[in-house]
A and B are shown apart, each in its own frame.
Chain A
Amino acid sequence: MKKMLMATTAAALLATNAFAAGHAKEVKLGILIGFTGPIESLTGPMAAGAELAMKEVTDSGMLLDGATVTPIRADTGCIDNGLSTSNGERLIAEGVNGLIGGDCSGVTGAILQNVAIPNGMVMISPSATSPGLTTVEDNGLFFRTAPSDAREGEVMAEVLMDRGVKSIALTYTNNDYGKGLADAIESNFKAAGGEVTIVAAHEDGKADYSAEMGALASAGGDILVVAGYLDQGGLGIINAALDTGAFDTFGLPGGMIGDSLPANVGAPLDGSYGQIAGSGGEGIEKLTAMAGDAFDATSPYTPESYDAAALFMLAMQAAGSMDPAEYAGKILDVANAPGEKIYPGELAKALELIKAGTDIDYVGASAVELIGPGESAGTYRLIEVKDGKNETIGFK
């Protein structure tokens, strides 16, 4: 009798525990991006985008039978490997189930090597674009909703050719991102028959850029392509070029696209052009409508951030687990065809379909299509500066 009683109590306890676990289950997603540093003007909307997706899923109550999703923000400083690694460790200690981040390519590599791989944690970066990350040894833990700069190099070369540019001078910010992008632009533009007169590095945050400008101007070229950061040396280079009259028109890759550049440079920037990862169409329109006035959904890498968060949660649902080792393999499945197309705002429907065993093809806000080792195939928004504003003139 006594034994029987104990057995029933134990069973009841177990049952309550299981019941409670089903309801109180909490998925934590770390948002590890540069809230300070060279792209601090972009990260606010990025984090808001990711959190929007989490709120949508929590509200639906569909994930893993009613789990809530909690975001935890942490800073990378964009260029500070020490800071990013220690903040990554902190997130692991707080028990996150996935890492959205990093943002800039250098710190993303550092977080991957020092935090994600040793701890078996999955990372989806919304904005790291260095080609080096394509071939990095990642144990199947690293994905990105941003395309590689190798692709941006192709797009930029096409844009230049379409506009009849014959020769370019090229300067890049001296880090993983700048070097990778500059290499991609140079090789693609040369392959298309263009001439690259000089490739010169510049350091961010330096006192004076006249030396760089002297070399760039002497080499000459139809336009100056600046593969840098808009809040940093890229701005200094453009100002120096305009001051000396060396170049009037600039090619602006992703790191140079943002509202602060036309605002800081003013009228002389009109007519410069470039491109940034991003897509038009249904996905982004839906996200913009959902974001309302809360944040700017068209801000660079914000759609990618929403998608990164969504992919985590969909993969968890598909694996029926929030353990990185189990859901990592499902990310490519939910992101790619075949299956029913899923747009922003339809995450509840997607979770339901997955539960019912139907395949989905997550399109999301940035037309997600993961290729190779798990990176976005890449659609680019073409930008031209008109009347002191970045105007979207097409997609490629």
Chain B
Amino acid sequence: MDLLNAFIALSNYVIVPAMAYGSQLALGALGVTLIYGILRFSNFAHGDTMSFGAMVTVLVTWLFQSWGISLGVLPTALLALPFGILGTMGLVLATDRMVYRFYRAQKAKPVILVIVSLGVTFILNGLVRFIIGPDDQNFLDGERFIVSARTFKAMTGLEEGLAIKTTQGITVVTAVIVVALLFWFLNRTRTGKSMRAYSDNEDLALLSGINPERVVMITWLIVAGLATIAGVLYGLDKSFKPFTYFQLLLPIFASAIVGGLGNPLGAIAGGFVIAFSEVTVTYAWKKVAGYVLPDSLAPDGLLQLLSTDYKLAVSFVILLIVLLIKPTGLFKGKSV
């Protein structure tokens, strides 16, 4: 029984939240890594593309709510999500047409494109705040929990509760579906193959008759979809606040680099590595140890390896170690 309690405590505070957070990071990192692989630059505007997509979704969700449309137990935002994706697709195609295409034609160095994307970040940042304001926005409705801590305790009679939020469930399920679709697309369809060919060797791809503008456009469309889904899932699970999306950029890039920039599989692995390391290394094991160990050995201290102050440092130490030992990331990506 005690072992079970220990496992539940660990699930509730480590495994479940880290799974959800990891999925959000993985979806974000996938977008970053696709841009890096195909357009060959680090897109700093990705965090704010997520925030823009989430904003459109929030606005459409409010519209649906005012019309009385809902999905019952599921959040209405899922219904609004396609509209958010369409809006974001329009946005990224417009920025590509107005900004990036110019630099692509110049064959600008990646570092110039990085700075350009930083400029786009600040413009998007301002745009989102201008439209929806800098405050927290609540757009979650429907059933809040799949299992709440209280009902779980009543059901099982255990001392520890396990809470799984609807949004956490949706996040993980959606992430799995999206990733499966993406891999099917990249590996099985003609367009996906031409994208990979373009990523592997641009000149060879051009020679074999692949239209580069088409590849770029499709990449942006996929990235817009990924960014919006990641942004909305994050907003549903935590809260929608434009500023936090800018902050989210750091862990997302850490995930993409740890996994190997340009490698989609790596982006997913990286997302989970970063999320789990942030949560587990700073976790206080007192409660779990209290259940597992006999009473005489029960600890007085917190059994915390590092204070939570250092949680960001943890992901960057992992990043450093990976870059030192395997500069191309855990899965073979492109070296920077």
A residues neighboring B (CB under 8 Å): 36, 174, 198, 200-203, 205-208, 210-215, 217-220, 231, 235-236, 239-240, 243-246, 264
B259 within 8 A of A: no
CB of B13 within 8 Å of the partner chain: yes
Instruction: Establish whether residues B304 and A205, one from each chain, have CB atoms under 8 Å apart when the complex forms.
Output: no
C-beta contact mask, B1-20 vs A, less than 8 Å → 1, else 0?
00000000100111001100
Which of B72-80, B281-289, B328-336 touches A? Answer: B281-289
Contact across chains for A218 and B286 when beta carbons are under 8 A apart: yes
Q: List 5 A-B contacts (CB under 8 A).
A: A207-B234, A207-B247, A213-B17, A218-B9, A244-B17
Chain A nearest Cβ from B84, distance in angstroms: 20
Q: Which residues of A lie under 8 Å from residue B135 when comparing CB positions?
A: 231
Question: Which residues on the A side are within 8 Å of B309 (C-beta)?
Answer: 174, 200-201
A244 touches B308 (CB 8 A): no
- Residues of chain A within 8 A of B17, CB atoms compared: 208, 210, 213-214, 240, 244
Contacts of A207 in B (CB 8 A): 21, 234, 238, 244, 247-248, 251
B residues sitting closer than 8 Å to A (CB atoms) are: 9, 12-14, 17-18, 21, 134-136, 138, 148-150, 161, 163, 165, 234, 238-239, 241, 243-244, 247-248, 251, 275, 278-279, 282-288, 302, 304, 307-309, 311-312
The answer, among B138, B149, B241, B279, for a CB contact under 8 Å with A245, is B149
- B138 and A264 within 8 A (CB): yes
Chain A residues within 8 Å of B161, by CB: 245
Docked-complex contact B302 and A239, CB < 8 angstroms: no
Residues from chain B with a CB closer than 8 A to the CB of A217 are 12-13, 287
Question: Would B244 and A210 count as touching, CB distance under 8 A?
Answer: no
Distance between A255 CB and nearest chain B CB, rounded to angstroms:
16
- Alpha-carbon distance A219/B284, docked complex (angstroms): 7
Instruction: List the B side residues contacting A231 at CB < 8 Å.
Output: 135-136
Nearest-neighbour CB distance to chain A for B36, whole angstroms, equals 21
- How far apart are the CA atoms of A257 and B288 in the complex, in Å? 34
* Smallest Cβ-Cβ distance to A208: which chain B residue: B21
Query: Are A245 and B282 closer than 8 Å at their CB atoms?
Result: no
Q: How far is the CB of B316 from chain A (nearest CB, A)?
A: 14
Out of B9, B247, B279, which one reaches A206, CB within 8 Å? Answer: B247
Q: Which of B13, B21, B243, B244 contacts A218 (CB 8 A)?
A: B13
**Which of A202, A213, A239 is packed against the most chain B CB atoms within 10 Å?**
A213
Decide: A198 near B284, CB < 8 A? Known: A211-B278, A239-B239. yes
Contact present for B284 and A215 (CB under 8 Å): yes
Those 5 A-B pairs whose CB atoms lie nearest each other, nearest first: A245-B149, A210-B17, A218-B284, A214-B13, A218-B287
Chain A residue nearest to B151 (CB atoms) is A245
B307 with A206: CB separation less than 8 A: no
CA distance A108 to B288 in the complex (A): 43
Contacts A174-B309, A218-B284 given; indicate if A208 touches B278 (C-beta within 8 A). Answer: yes
Q: What is the minimal beta-carbon distance from B158 to any residue of chain A, in angstroms?
A: 12
* Residues of the B chain whose Cβ atoms lie less than 8 Å from the Cβ of A243: 163, 165
Instruction: Report the Cα distance A52→B279, complex, angstroms.
Output: 49
Nearest Cβ on chain A to B169's Cβ, whole angstroms? 13
Q: Is the CB of A246 within 8 A of B13?
A: yes
Give A246 to B241 CA distance when docked, in angstroms.
24
Chain B residues lying within 8 Å of A244, measured Cβ to Cβ, are 12-13, 17, 149, 163
Are A205's CB and B138's CB within 8 A? no
Q: For the complex, give the distance between the alpha carbons of A212 and B284 in Å.
A: 9
From B234, B279, B286, B308, name the one whose CB has the most chain A CB atoms within 10 angstroms: B308
